[in-house]
Amino acid sequence: MSPGRLKGEMAVSAAVSTILMVVLVIGIAMIIWSVWIGSPSILHDKVYIAGEAKAIVVNQPGGIPMQVVGFTIREAEPFHFAGQAPPIAGKEVLLKVITPDGRTLYPTPFISGGALEGRTLFIYPNSTGYSEHCDYIVSDSPPAGKLKPFVLGTWTVQLIDTEAHLLISSDDRAKITEGTSSYALAGGTPGGNVWRTDCTPLGYTVQGNPVAGHTGPPMNMSYLTFDGNDWLEYQDDPTLKYTGDLTISLWLRPLHVNTWKQVIGKGLQTPSGSGVIEDKNYDLYLINRKVYFEWDDRVTNTHYHIMTNNDVVTAGNWQYVNLVIEGGEPKIYVNGVSQAFSYYISNVPGNNLTSQIPEVRLKDNQYPLTMGKQASQQYPFPYSGDIGSFALYNRGLTTDEIFENLQTYSA
């Protein structure tokens, strides 16, 4: 071996050693970086799960069939759902559901434990009295109680590896073909959690000192008691603005029915000389024992109201009230019964009766929504009594939906 050859081989060996050292340093750095920032580790093994999302028919009380979302786990390595009670096995997986109306749900697991492979799981809304709009359950047992219908369309079921922050699977084969066209744009319990359709909270402020309560069975409804000095103010929001179809759906129990009371509305009344100026998107009142609704026409600015012809509300009793506008035509329901009413061109209840029936063209505004009093310094018309579940829809509820809400004490 020549001295020149030995010298060259030593140089190559040194270069290889340097390269290996660099690779080792980079590898160690990548591992440290992965752990430090919380991104998926290159050493982490993703759990394998093969499942199928689908619509499953279950029987409601009375034997009435209804579709819910199901998820059948065909093959899987050991795993359990995030939040699942023991006994658990394998890696933790988060269940995520995306609804046709844009909500993102994370159902709470109620599963008996053991291997999940081969099981069919049921995904459905929590039907207890304390549940909320976006509170869903995933269970290995079918629902036993009454459920509200699912929104029509495609429901997507996703599984996420919580340790690696990786999407394991996404299945959009759950097609609900029998259900409701949409849920409310906004709704909930006054003074409690009030939500938009996408499950984000709707901001509000409390004025005065309304008192929260709960009816207990069979209603199982949370409510807020107003004493005439309390009201709520919900900040202006796209989910509170209506220029087309509308349903105001709410439960109330007035303390007395011998005065004018604003229940819910979006608008403002301001002084003007010896009178007032109205700027109302929509306003719902009790006028003695009658139901009264007023609005401004978005084209002519004319102020209209309708009022039931008969006494339809009583003091001290829970009543379910609906104001429905569909295709420019209003309807009023109390406890599921359609009520006769008359049209007036006026902001004074019962004044200027008109036989010319106007098309209802609601006028948008930028004011907050108030509950428990009118937004007016001169004529606040405070409400005394209880207000329970309420909701605002951008469509007219059907008579079947109104009856369903009446039977289930929901809005």
Q: What is the CATH number of the domain that holds 170?
A: 2.60.40
Q: Any idea what the CATH number is for the domain that residue 359 is in? A: 2.60.120.200
Q: What is the pLDDT of residues 197-212, one digit of tens each?
A: 888 889 999 999 999 9
Q: 247 and 162: one domain?
A: no
Q: What is the domain range of residue 268? A: 186-408
Average pLDDT, the chain: 88
- Above 70 in pLDDT, residue 175? yes
Q: At 28, is the pLDDT very low, low, confident or very high (cuts 50, 70, 90)?
A: very low
Q: Is residue 159 part of a domain?
A: yes
Angle at 186 between CA 323 and CA 334, to 5 degrees: 25
Q: 310 and 200: one domain?
A: yes
Closest Cα partner for 108 from 86, 125, 91? 125
378 CB burial (10 A radius; 0-12, 13-18, 19+): exposed
Q: At 149, is the pLDDT very low, low, confident or very high (cuts 50, 70, 90)?
A: confident
Q: Is residue 77 part of a domain?
A: yes
Q: Of 176, 208, 239, which closes a domain?
A: 176
Angle at 221 between CA 264 and CA 153, to 5 degrees: 80
Report the range out of 120-129, 182-191, 322-331 with the highest average pLDDT.
Answer: 322-331
Q: 302 and 375: one domain?
A: yes
Q: What is the pLDDT of residue 39?
A: 40
pTM of the model: 0.80
Q: Is residue 290 part of a domain?
A: yes
Q: How many helices (H) and strands (E) does the chain have?
A: 2, 27
- Above 70 in pLDDT, residue 6? no
Q: 233 and 154: one domain?
A: no
191 dihedral zone (left: phi>0; alpha: psi -120 to 50; beta):
left
Q: What is the pLDDT of residue 130?
A: 53
Q: 172 and 193: one domain?
A: no
Say how far apart CA 70 and CA 127 lie, in whole Å: 17
- Above 90 in pLDDT, residue 300? yes
In this prediction, residues 59-84 reach a mean pLDDT of 93
Q: 168 and 190: one domain?
A: no
Q: Is residue 24 part of a domain?
A: no
- Above 80 in pLDDT, residue 118? yes
Domains held by the chain: number? 2
Q: 279 and 386: one domain?
A: yes
Say how far apart CA 375 and CA 33 lie, in whole Å: 56
Say how far apart CA 311 and CA 328 lie, in whole Å: 25
Q: 281 and 220: one domain?
A: yes
In this prediction, residues 379-400 reach a mean pLDDT of 96
Q: Of 176, 205, 230, which closes a domain?
A: 176
Strands 329-334 and 260-272: unpaired
Q: Is residue 197 part of a domain?
A: yes
Q: Identify the bridge partners of residue 251 per DSSP, sorted by sequence position.
A: 320
Q: Of 129, 153, 176, which closes a domain?
A: 176
Strands 329-334 and 337-339: antiparallel
Q: 314 and 281: one domain?
A: yes
- Above 80 in pLDDT, residue 46? no
Q: Is residue 60 part of a domain?
A: yes
- Above 80 in pLDDT, residue 34? no
- Above 60 in pLDDT, residue 164? yes
In this prediction, residues 131-143 reach a mean pLDDT of 86
- Above 60 in pLDDT, residue 43? no
Q: 71 and 214: one domain?
A: no
Q: What is the pLDDT of residue 114?
A: 87
Q: 170 and 218: one domain?
A: no
Q: Is residue 79 part of a domain?
A: yes
Q: What is the pLDDT of residues 255-299, one digit of tens each?
A: 999 889 999 999 999 988 878 899 999 999 999 999 999 999 999
C-alpha atoms less than 13 angstroms from C-alpha of 52 in its C-beta half-sphere? 9
Distances (CA, A) of 344 to 212, 266, 294, 307: 36, 20, 9, 8
Q: 209 and 333: one domain?
A: yes
Structure tokens at 223: 């409510």
Q: Is residue 193 part of a domain?
A: yes
Q: What percent of the chain has pLDDT over 70?
A: 88
Q: At 102, is the pLDDT very low, low, confident or very high (cuts 50, 70, 90)?
A: confident
Report the range out of 12-21, 34-43, 212-221, 307-316 with the highest average pLDDT.
Answer: 307-316
